Amino acid sequence: MKKYAALFRIRFINGLQYRAAALAGLVTQFAWGFMEILAFSAFYRANPAAFPMEFSHLVSYIWIKEAFLALFMPYGVGENAVETIVSGNISYDLARPMDIYNRWFFETIANRVSRTTLRCAPILIVAFILPPPFRLVLPSDLFQFSMFIISVPIAMFAVTAYCLIDYMSAFYTMSRYNVIFVILADFLSGGYVPIPFFPEPFRKIAELLPFAAMQNMPLRIYSGDIAGMDAIYGIGLQLFWVLVMLIFGKLLMKHSLKRVVAQGG
């Protein structure tokens, strides 16, 4: 594991250098967060009882989503891996004494953590000092906060394992950007609208899919929409889907590398 830890450290330090990009992303996330909250606020003022989440829970959901966006987003962190496949430079990776899947996994994790490190704190600070009802509030008790802390890295592993499957689709499509994978994950993980807002039959199905193991779980645990034994069950479901996607990703990588043909050189 030492080589992967060193790779993580190198990628993490490198990611911290892009402060201008982090500032631009920070402004975008503030604007998007305020826009979402104000849009939902208009609907809640009409009939608060018509919605499955309290407005304060929804506000916390949105601010935590924006603060940890880089950690959970199913896009924008695997350009190097996809470019390696499409350009044919993967032949160099095959010559290195390092498992390609593990390398991409740790690189992606490092990119996510470095971007979140630069953007998270300013969003949380501003969100905590906003006036009610737009203020971010802490979870109701220590147990709830502990479940959130446990759920966050598992969600990150889940979305990273999913993204690696997306990257490997480039072996078959030779496309640098697979929009279907991105939209599907973002929508079904609660990126556009929280899963509790889905129609009831569809909601029950969505909560069992691997996408529910991504940002959906830590955001709903923090906001208080999922609590107690439901939070423990949700984390167990997260672990299950992480394991399934890791195994599937490893098998897909093994099968995909059989298709690689290096010409010349």
Q: What is the pLDDT of residue 64?
A: 94
Q: Is the pLDDT of residue 247 over 70?
A: yes
How much is the pTM?
0.88
User: Which pLDDT score is estimated for 264?
Assistant: 52
- Higher per-residue pLDDT: 203 or 96: 203
Domain ranges across the chain? 2-257
Average pLDDT along the chain? 86
pLDDT digits (tens, 9 = 90+) for 253-265: 988 887 776 655 4
In degrees, to the nearest 5, what angle opens at C-alpha 21 toward C-alphas 18 and 26? 120
Query: How do residues 21-80 score in pLDDT, each as one tens digit?
Result: 667 677 888 888 889 999 999 889 888 888 888 898 999 999 999 999 889 988 766 667
Query: What average pLDDT score do residues 1-5 get?
Result: 74
- Reply yes or no on whether the pLDDT at 244 is more than 90: yes
Q: What is the dihedral of CA 170, 173, 177, 179, to 10 degrees?
A: -120
Query: What would the pLDDT profile of 118-169 be if each residue is shown by its tens digit?
Result: 888 888 998 999 888 899 998 878 999 999 999 999 999 999 999 999 888 8
